[in-house]
Amino acid sequence: MAERHTNYITYKTWGNHAGKDVYLFRLTNAQGAYIELTNYGATLVSVVVPDAKGVHENVVLGFPSLEGYLHDLCYIGSTVGRFANRIGNAQFILKGKVYTLDPNDGHHANHGGYHGFHAQVFEYAIHDRGIIFTIFSADNEGGFPGNVQLKVTYSWNDDQQLQIDYEATTDQTTVLNFTNHAYFNLSACKRTILDHRLQIDSAAVLETTRQYIPTGKILPAGKYSFEKETGLSDKIIVKADDIQGLNHYYIFKDRNQRDTVVCSLTDPESGRSLKVYTSYPGVQIYSGDFLTSVSQTNHATSYQPLEGVCLECQYFPDSPNHPDFPSTILNPDERYEERIIYRFGIAT
């Protein structure tokens, strides 16, 4: 697909955290659609794109000020690392050594633990296509081995395509798994996600415990299949005192095809669509069952469950404890290189 980059990039001071300046960046394309980013957590703050009538609105959850992100407990829009998703019992064995991590999710580690990248300030550089965020993670940060250097590049083009590239190196063998934790609502939060339509190029999911830790088994998606476009409301059961939604890892049929649409999401009423491409082998679909916010949001009210859905392309959760899963090990002579593309448009 042809790419045209005519971004108009502006930025402003947004605050200070841990003695480091925080900025808000805006990348606007030739159609007037734009994204906003901050170097706090290398976070996606907003994506403002048109609906079928040409009305531009924000289709990701976020906050109008740094304060909202400092109090956020749901990783809204953030870069997740060092390891996306859960690691069982907050430990793993690598080269015969046991590594103990931050147990920030019961007995388990989730999204990098208390020292996760979602709550750290990145360095930044502006280039003609977007913003490059970089961060250095010292050996044993969060319990993970190795001095790691991460670069996250956000690019935005005239085709309403948001591309996120992850590059990392290490000075000793470690495990890495990065993703973006954006919550999408293509109605611009006028409605919940229950009327959205979802399709996933997957026929298999990971079996997990009630705490979302993989057992090691790969199962047919069955009733959770989204191979054919299906309404999210067909898959999510809402009860008065108990919300049971989607928090499943889907394994893509073709793990090596970067040019294939692996997920598509549409909102029939607004006409907006989202197509996802990636180099990762699968995606965690999370319907925001426990979504909450204590600060004012970009959509004026506090966020509630089912107001956003995450399409978190990543490696398998708990991979370090499952040798049969695709490896997340990175050695000093290797480079971590993965990509996620979110392409916004109008459903046809």
- Catalytic site residues? 181, 312
Tokens of 136: 């250095």
DSSP assignment letter at 60:
B
Our separate counts of H helices and E strands in the chain read 1, 30
Angle at 265 between CA 160 and CA 58, to 5 degrees: 50
Q: What is the radius of gyration, based on Cα positions, of the chain?
A: 19
Q: Are 84 and 314 in contact (CB under 8 A)?
A: yes
| DSSP H or E stretch at residue 337 | strand 336-346
Between β-strands 109-110 and 202-208, what pairing exists: parallel, antiparallel or unpaired?
Answer: unpaired
Q: Residue 12 is encoded by which pair of tokens?
A: 């402003």
Of the candidates 117, 130, 85, 115, which has an alpha carbon nearest to the alpha carbon of residue 310?
85
Residues 228/199, Cβ–Cβ less than 8 Å: yes
